[in-house]
Structure 1
Amino acid sequence: MTKIDEQEAWVRTKEGRLFAKTWTPGSPEAALRASILLFHDSLGCVDLWRGFPALLASATGRRVIAYDRLGFGRSDPHPGHLEFDFIAAEALDVVPQLCEQLGFAEFIACGHSVGGGMAVETAAHLQTRCQALVTIAAQAFVEDRTLNGIRVAKRDFHDAANLARLAKYHGDKARWVVDAWTETWLASEFSNWNLDASLAAVCCPILAIHGELDEYGSAEHPNRIAAGRGTTLILPKTGHVPHRENDQLLADTIAEFLSRE
C-alpha cells in the first residue's frame, strides 16, 4: 500500500470544536486531486471508519478527510437535541467551515448511512465545490425497514454492555448519540423526510452503493439516489457497513468510479 501520512486537526465552530483527521498519499499527484470528504453514520465517528480511510487514500491517490460531527467521537458535546433539519444543516453550516479551516476547496462527498444523506445535501448546496458524490448504504427517505432496524437497535442499547461498547468511541456522550439517532428517526415529525428535492439539484456524477443484505434499507434507496443521475451498485452478501465488511472492495470500487470522472 502507498505510504499514507496521517494528521489530526481541530475545527472550531461557534457550537464547539470538531475533531478531524486526514490521510494523504505520499505522491505529488495527491495535491492536485480533489480530496474525499467522509461523512459518518448515526453512531459513527472518525475512529469507527477504522482502516478504511487509509485504504481509500491509497486506492484513489487522493487525500481523505474524516471528522466527528458535534456530539460524536472526540468532538465537543452537542448543546441540545438534533433538529429535524440536521442532515441539510450539516452541509449548509459545517462543510464550508471544514473547507476553510482544513484548506480544501473542491472535494468528493462520500457518506455512509445518514452521512450519505449529508453527502447528497452537500453536493446539492455546494455545486461548484463538489466534483462527485458517493453514497454508501444511504437512506433517501424514511422506510419501514429502516425504522424496524432502529427499533431493534434501541432495544439492544437498553443493555448496558452495548452502551459501554459505544462509549469506547463517544465517551460520556454515548447515550446522547443513541438517543439522537433513535428518537429523531422514530419521531412522527421526521416521517416525511426525504432527499428528493436535494437530489434534483445535484449536478455531479453519482455512485450509490448498497449492500444486498442491508438491514436498514432496501435497494429502493440507492435506486432513488442514482435515478437518471448516476450509477447504482449492489454489493452481494454485504450488509449495512461495507467499509468494515469488505473494505478493500469498497475502496477499489470508489477508486474505479473516480478514475472515470
Structure 2
Amino acid sequence: MTGARVEPDVRVAGRRIEALELPGDPDRRPLVLLHEGLGSVGLWRGFPQALHEATGRRVLAFSRFGHGRSQPPPQPRTPAFFHTEALDVLPDVLAQLDAPEPIIVGHSDGASIALIHAGRHPVTGIALLAPHVIVEDVTVREIEAARERYASGDLRERMARHHDDVDAAFWGWCDVWLDPAFRDWSLEADAERVACPTLLIQGVGDPYGTLDQLDRIEARVRGAGGDVFRVHVPGGHSPHLEAAAETLAALRAFTEPLV
C-alpha cells in the first residue's frame, strides 16, 4: 500500500516541525530518517523516495529545530543537544507521527541521536550512516574549515536556499562541535545500551570521521542475537548520496527481515 507524499502537522513545545511522510505498507514498521548536522528534510534529496521504492515501507523524515522549514529552537544548543533530541524531542515526534518502534536511519549527527534513542526506547532496528560516538581531531579540523567557508566563502549562501534560519542551522551545529567542553564527549556508554539489529555504513574517504567510529560502536552494541552489520562504501560523509546504490542495497537487505 503506497500513496502520495504527505506533510504532517507536527509541533514540539508549541513550535512547528517540518515533516514528510511517504505512505507505505501499514503492516511493517516505518523507516524514520534523522538528518545530519547541517541537513533538513529537503537535503535528503531523492533518498526518501528511493528508500521507499526499495523497501515498500512507510518513510518519515523531519527537520530538527532551526533546520529546513522548522522553527528555531526554543533555546540555544548546548553539548547536551544530542540527548535532548534523542530522549525528549524524538519520542514526541514519533508519537505524533504514529510511528512506534520504527527502524531509524540516522546520518552523522542524526545517527548519534538514533543510537542514544535506541538505548532507551524500543525500536525495530537502527541504520547508522557516518555516525559519531567520539570527537576526533579530523572532525574538529573539518568543522573549523566549514566555519571559515561559512564566514568568508559561499557556504552560507548555498545553505540559505534550504534553511529558513540559516544562522540557527549553521551555528547551532558548529558551536556545539567546537565547544571546548564537547571535546571529551562520548556515546560509548550509550552504545552499550543498544540491543537491536544495527547496520553501520561509512564512506572510506569520510573527512569528518575515521572508521574508528564504527569500531567503537561495533565493539559495544549487542544487537539482537549479535546482529550488527558493517558496510564500507566508496566516497565521503554522505553514503546515501555518494554511494547511493550500495547504501540502498545494504538498507534493503538489512530491513527486509525486520517485521
* Larger helix share, 1 or 2: 1
Say whether residues 1:76 and 2:71 are aligned partners: yes
Quote the offset at 1:3 in angstroms: 6.2
Trace 1:3-152 onto structure 2 (pairs within 5 A): 5-25=4-24, 30-126=25-121, 128=122, 130-152=123-145
> Which sits farther off after the overlay, 247-256 or 69-78?
247-256
Trace 1:245-260 onto structure 2 (pairs within 5 A): 245-260=242-257
> Could you list the runs of 5+ residues in structure 1 that have no partner in the other structure?
none
Give deviations 1:145-175, integer Å, cap 9, x for gaps: 111110111111113532011011112x111
Question: Contact (CA 8 Å) 1:116, 1:139: kept in 2 or not?
Answer: yes
Alpha-carbon separation, structure 1, partners of 2:51 and 2:14 = 30
Question: Contact (CA 8 Å) 1:15, 1:79: kept in 2 or not?
Answer: no
Give the 4+ runs in structure 1 shifted more than 3 A.
none
After superposition, the Cα gap between the structure-2 partners of 1:37 and 1:217, relative to the gap in structure 1 and judged at 3 Å, is: same
2:134 partner SS: coil
What TM-score does the superposition give when structure 1 sets the normalisation length?
Answer: 0.92
Question: Contact (CA 8 Å) 1:111, 1:118: kept in 2 or not?
Answer: yes
Say whether residues 1:191 and 2:186 are aligned partners: no
Quote the offset at 1:212 in angstroms: 0.3
Question: Contact (CA 8 Å) 1:137, 1:209: kept in 2 or not?
Answer: yes
* Identity, % of aligned positions: 34
What TM-score does the superposition give when structure 2 sets the normalisation length?
Answer: 0.93
1:9 partner SS: coil
After superposition, the Cα gap between the structure-2 partners of 1:193 and 1:61, relative to the gap in structure 1 and judged at 3 Å, is: same
RMSD over aligned Cα atoms = 1.6
Alpha-carbon separation, structure 1, partners of 2:31 and 2:247 = 14
Quote the offset at 1:140 in angstroms: 1.1
Aligned to 2:211: 219
Aligned to 1:231: 229
Alpha-carbon separation, structure 1, partners of 2:35 and 2:176 = 17
Quote the offset at 1:248 in angstroms: 3.0
After superposition, the Cα gap between the structure-2 partners of 1:148 and 1:46, relative to the gap in structure 1 and judged at 3 Å, is: same
Residue 129 of structure 2 aligns with an amino acid whose one-letter code is I
Alpha-carbon separation, structure 2, partners of 1:151 and 1:10 = 36
* Larger strand share, 1 or 2: 1
Alpha-carbon separation, structure 2, partners of 1:78 and 1:95 = 14
Quote the offset at 1:255 in angstroms: 0.9
Alpha-carbon separation, structure 1, partners of 2:14 and 2:111 = 23
Alpha-carbon separation, structure 2, partners of 1:82 and 1:15 = 18
